[in-house]
Amino acid sequence: MHPIDFLAFGWKYYKILLEKPVRNQHPHVKKITYITHENTEKWILGAKARRLARYSKLNATVSYTSNFKDFDHADGFFFLHPNIFAKSIRKNAHILKKKNIVMFTHPVLKNRFSIRHRIFVLNLADKVIFLNRNHADLMIHYGLQPEKAEIMHLASDADMFQPHERANGKVCLSMAYYERKNPQLMLDIIKKMPHRNFMLIGPGWNEFIDSNNLCSLSNFEYRVLSDYKEYPGLYEQCDVFLSTSKLEGGPVPLLETMLCNMVPVVSRTGYCTDIIEHGENGFLFDTGAKAEDVIPLIDKAFEMKVNTRDHVKEFTWEKYSSKIDEIFLARTGKML
């Protein structure tokens, strides 16, 4: 490691650098653990971990953590976010002797050290699961070993998210508040479409809503749910799914809402371009689009007759979990 990199971030991994744990080239995996943050237990990452563990043919369990230590004696670990993997190996260098798979959500590349830091961490994993090809190519460009990259779109629960007949319902926005979600574009669209009703679902929006007087608009409502299981009930009221985000790995609600037979109107980011055929099963717009670009697409979405569920029902948790099992069981892995 370059001395500057060590001063910037490498010191955090001194246990790894000192112990130099050696991985078995052909680990025999029987027991695996899905690792996610304890705050995600009632939300999508927690639900995803439970479903993947449920459908695994291996001895699979789920661990919710906030201290990132005291790992159980599994043969392999699946980390549902790169930051969880980074914090875990800092406190548990020994798990690098096991097989580790990391799910890459989306790139956060603030400066050259954050890029080097992330690549350093990801290259310690056996496999990195990307949700779309663009993000895999980007990280390989920055130094990720190409053989570690695996492209796997997310999955969803076709039993949980049932289809409904569209009948001039609401426009659904399902997302937590982040600047990358492009809240200003969302606001502009809502204000300029008084003839459509919008429902925003997700945490963290109170300050933005209050500062922009969104609740004063008769065509807007905001819902914060206490449990992931409550989403299908709200989705039944909506006919169009809108995602204004500038950066996504997914977005996860794209699959959920299409299973509910909503028509997506989404920005060209994440796996949207892999799943949506513009004008056939939804509509795409550029991440730099203005409200005037998106509004006609929303109106067209209400006129579309296609059953969008048919285009995503193949993305099942059973298939996703089976693929992960295959990666865990594959006789691969290099010495560290």
* 3-state SS class at 127: strand
Peptide bond into 253 cis (omega under 30): no
Local structure of residue 11 (DSSP, 8 states):
G
Cα dihedral 228, 158, 304, 271 in deg (nearest 10) = 70
What confidence tens digit (pLDDT) does each residue in 204-240 have? Answer: 999 999 999 999 999 999 998 878 889 999 999 999 9
What pLDDT is stored for residue 22 in this prediction? 66
The whole-angstrom separation of Cα 215 and Cα 211 is 10
Q: What are phi and psi of 9, to 5 degrees?
A: -150, -20
Residue with tokens 């914060």: 224
Does residue 306 contact residue 261 with C-beta atoms inside 8 Å? Answer: no
Q: Closest Cα partner for 282 from 255, 301, 256?
A: 301
Which residues lie below 8 Å from residue 99, measured CB to CB, with a gap of 6+? Answer: 23, 27, 29, 75, 76, 77, 126, 328, 333
pLDDT the model gives residue 335: 37
Q: What is the pLDDT of residues 124-177, one digit of tens each?
A: 999 999 988 888 999 999 999 999 999 988 788 889 999 999 998 999 999 999
DSSP code string of 173-199? EE----GGG-HHHHHHHHHT-TTS-EE
The two tokens of residue 165 are 């007949």
pLDDT of 111 reads 59
138 burial class (0-12, 13-18, 19+ CB within 10 angstroms)?
middle
Name the token pair of 118.
């992330």
166 within 8 A of 145, measured Cβ to Cβ: no
